[in-house]
Structure 1
Amino acid sequence: MMQILHFFNVLLLVTAHQPFMKFGMLEKPPMFMRKNSTVAGDNLYDGIWIDMIEWLSQHLNFKYEIIFVNNVLGRPQTLNGSGVWSGASGRLLRGDFDVLGPPVLMSFARNRVFHSVGVVEDEPSALLTPALTEMSSILSSIKPFQPMVWLLILISLLSAAICFAASSPSNEDRPFWYKRLIFSRIGNYVFYTVAILTNQGPVFALRKFQSKLPFRLTAGVWCLFACVMVNVYSSTLTSHITARKMSTPPTGGIQVMEEGVLSYLVIDDSFGREIILGATTGKLKKLGDLFRRHPENFVPDQETGFRKVATGCCAFSDFVSYFNYRIGKDFQETGKCRVHIGKPVKGYGFTGLLIRKDNNYRDAINQGILDLYQTGLVDYWRKKQAGRGYPVCQAQSKKKSKVLRSLNLRQDLVTAFFILGIGISTSFIVFLAEQCRRCKCR
Structure 2
Amino acid sequence: MRKRQAYGLEQPPYDNLIRGPNGTFTFTGVNYKLISWMSTKFNFTFRLILINQTLVEKYGTHGAAHYQLASEENVDSITSTFHLTADRVAKNDPTSFIWTEGMTLIVPRPEEENRLFAFLGPFQPMVWLLIFISLFPVIGAMTFFTWLYKHLHWNNDATRGNNFTRWFTTISSSHMIYVINTLTNQGGREAFNRTSFRILTGIWVLCAMVLVNCYTGIVTSSLTTPKMKPTINSFEDLAASKEVGIVLRSDTTIGNQILKATTGIYKVLGDEARRNPNQIVDNPFKLTATLETGRYAYPYLHSLCYAFVCSQYEKDGKCRFKLSKLLPVSIGFTSLYFKKGSSFTKDMDKGLMELWESGLVRLWINKIHSIPKAQQCFADTKRGVTRVVPIQLSDLISAFFILAIGIGLATLSFLLEIIQSKFRRERL
TM range (shorter): 0.7 to 0.9
Q: Which residue of 1 aligns with 2:349?
A: 366
Q: Which residue of 2 aligns with 1:312?
A: 294
2:113 is equivalent to residue 135 of structure 1: yes
1:112 — aligned with what? 90
Say if 2:303 is the partner of 1:321. Answer: yes
Query: Relative to structure 1, is the Cα distance of residues 108 and 409 closer, same or farther in structure 2, using a 3 angstrom cutoff?
Result: closer
Residue equivalent to 2:18: 35
Q: Is 1:140–1:245's contact at 8 Å kept on the other side of the alignment?
A: no
Equivalent pair of 1:122/1:347 in contact (CA under 8 Å) = no
Aligned twin of 2:371: 387
Residue correspondence of structure 1 range 153-232 to structure 2 within 5 A: 169=148, 171=151, 191=176, 193-197=178-182, 211=194, 213-232=195-214
Given candidates 90, 103, 109, the residue that maps to 2:67 is 90
3-state SS of 1:332 partner: helix
Q: Is the 8 A contact 1:330 1:389 kept in 2?
A: no
* Among candidates 406, 419, 434, match of residue 389 of structure 2: 406
2:337 to 333, 336, 354: 354
For 2:221 and 2:73, how far apart are their aligned partners in 1? 67
Aligned with 2:66: secondary structure? Answer: helix
Q: 1:297 aligns with which of 279, 287, 290?
A: 279
Query: With structure 1 as the length reference, what TM-score do the two structures score?
Result: 0.71
Please state whether the residue corresponding to 1:29 is helix, strand or coil. coil
CA distance, structure 2, for counterparts of residue 40 and residue 231 of structure 1? 72
What amino acid is the match of 1:92?
A: L
- Count of matched residue positions in the alignment of Structure 1 and Structure 2: 390
Measured in 1, the distance between the counterparts of 2:80 and 2:398 equals 54
Give per-residue Cα distances to partners, 1:69-92, cap 9 Å, x unaligned: 25868999xxxxxxxx97322332
In structure 2, what is the Cα distance between the partners aligned to 1:160 and 1:131?
47
- CA drift of 1:166 comes to 8.2
1:378 aligned to 2:356?
no
Contact 1:23 1:100 in 2 (8 A): yes
Cα deviation 1:263-292 (Å, max 9, x = unaligned): 322113286676555544444444444344
Cα distance per residue 1:127-179 (max 9 Å; x no partner): 222232233443544422345765675687567557657877574699xxxxx
Check 1:415–1:367 CA distance in 2 against 1; reply closer, same or farther (3 A cut).
Answer: same
Q: Alpha-carbon deviation of 1:49? A: 0.8
The answer to whether the 8 Å contact 1:122/1:349 transfers is no
Change (3 A) 1:75 1:340: same
Q: Name the CA shift for 1:148/1:270 in 2 (closer, same or farther; >3 Å).
A: closer
Over aligned residues, Cα RMSD in angstroms?
4.4
- Percent of aligned pairs sharing the same letter: 26
Query: Structure 2: where are the runs of 5+ without partners?
Result: 154-159, 161-170, 415-428
Contact map agreement 1:32 1:45 (CA 8 A) in 2: yes
Distance in 1 between residues matched to 2:99 and 2:40, nearest whole Å: 26
Distance 1:399 1:188 in 2: 48
Counterpart check, 1:24 vs 2:7: yes
- C-alpha separation in 1, matches of 2:302 and 2:252: 21
Contact 1:117–1:353 under 8 Å retained in 2? yes
**Secondary structure of the residue that 1:354 maps to in structure 2?**
strand
The correspondence of residues 51-130 of structure 1 with structure 2, limited to 5 A, is 51-69=33-51, 87-93=64-70, 94-120=72-98, 122-130=100-108
Q: What displacement does 1:353 show? A: 1.0
**1:230 to partner: Cα distance:** 0.7
- Give a deviation string over 1:19-63, Cα, whole Å, max 9, x none: 32222232222221203655998x811111111122222233322
Cα 1:20–1:405 change in 2 (3 A) is farther
Cα separation, 1, equivalents of 2:313 and 2:23: 28
